[in-house]
Copies of this chain bind each other. A is one copy, B any other.
Amino acid sequence: MPSESNHIVSAFDEDLRQMDNFIAEMGGLAEHQFADSIKALIARDSELAERVIGNDHRIDELEHLVDAHTISMLALRQPMADDLRVVITALRIASLIERIGDYAKNISKRTVAITQTPPVGPSRTISRMGVVVQGMIKTVLDAYLQRDADLAEDVRQRDEEVDALHTSLFRELLTYMMEDPRSISACTHLLFVAKNIERIGDHATNIAENVHFLVHGKLPEEPRPKGDESSYTVIGGDD
């Protein structure tokens, strides 16, 4: 990676390469965990869900390594200006990836519960959300590793579709529960699954904003497109 501060290939650059390796590994794991969590949900595969739950600690461990590596870089290299921004951004991105891993784990916990209930409704919208969000995670990791702010902006724009799908799924699930109260347990967990996927999209978007900050030294000026209205959604119940 070319650095603006023009220092020669140094101990700092070596440390930074190691940092990016940690983040690439964390990100790859999180992407994989999320994909598996959706696969397990759709296939009602509780064994795969249990594996996702069991694997989350590997992402947590990598985050601890990033934390320790950051503190050691700050202490030993005493970076200034641009380099400092790079280190702090990496720390933030690692924390966001760790949270993506947590959401995937929670989707899998709920999948274990869902497999104990009869199959219900609208998995197509969930699949669609899963596909879009998985693409966002993959692209934003590339954007970070290539320091590509345009690619990051592309991820930011995709979040709107996720929010719209989430709002529509929220309404769909409420309607479903009203029509068939026996589906309430399963649909409630699906509501939280949908929320988790939406939050993963938010976190990919946050990572994208950090990539913008890394490249341009400031946050994006255009406000993020907002489409998630689910917190305000009310269906029926007015009688």
A binding-site residues for B, Cβ under 8 Å? 67, 70-71, 74-75, 78, 80-81, 84-85, 88, 95, 106, 109-110, 112-113, 116-118, 174, 177-178, 181-186, 188-189, 191-192, 195, 231-239
Cβ contact within 8 Å between B112 and A239? no
Cβ contact within 8 Å between B239 and A182? yes
Task: Take A75-B80, A80-B75, A234-B113 as given contacts and tell me if A188 and B191 are in contact as well, using a CB distance cutoff of 8 Å.
Answer: yes
Cβ contact within 8 Å between B85 and A183? no
16 A-B pairs with C-beta separation under 8 A: A67-B88, A71-B85, A110-B231, A113-B231, A113-B233, A113-B234, A118-B237, A174-B185, A174-B188, A177-B184, A177-B188, A182-B236, A182-B239, A185-B236, A188-B191, A192-B231
Cβ contact within 8 Å between A234 and B185? yes
Q: What are the residues of chain B within 8 A of A106 when measuring CB–CB?
A: 231
Copy total for this chain: 2
Q: What are the residues of chain B within 8 A of A67 when measuring CB–CB?
A: 88
Known: A78-B78, A185-B237. 13 other contacts (CB 8 A): A75-B80, A109-B232, A110-B232, A113-B234, A116-B234, A174-B188, A177-B177, A182-B236, A182-B237, A182-B239, A184-B236, A185-B234, A188-B188
Q: How many whole Å from A175's CB to the nearest CB in chain B?
A: 9
**CA of A80 to CA of B73 in the docked complex: distance in angstroms?**
11
**CA of A184 to CA of B188 in the docked complex: distance in angstroms?**
10
Interchain residue pairs A-B with the least CB separation, the first 5: A109-B231, A185-B237, A117-B237, A78-B78, A113-B234
Which residue of B has the minimal Cβ distance to A110?
B231
Q: What are the residues of chain B within 8 A of A116 when measuring CB–CB?
A: 234, 238
Q: How many whole Å from A106's CB to the nearest CB in chain B?
A: 6
Q: What are the residues of chain B within 8 A of A195 when measuring CB–CB?
A: 192
Q: What are the residues of chain B within 8 A of A85 when measuring CB–CB?
A: 71
**CA of A67 to CA of B84 in the docked complex: distance in angstroms?**
12
Cβ contact within 8 Å between A237 and B183? yes
Q: What are the residues of chain B within 8 A of A186 when measuring CB–CB?
A: 237
Q: How many whole Å from A81's CB to the nearest CB in chain B?
A: 7
Which residue of B has the minimal Cβ distance to A114?
B234
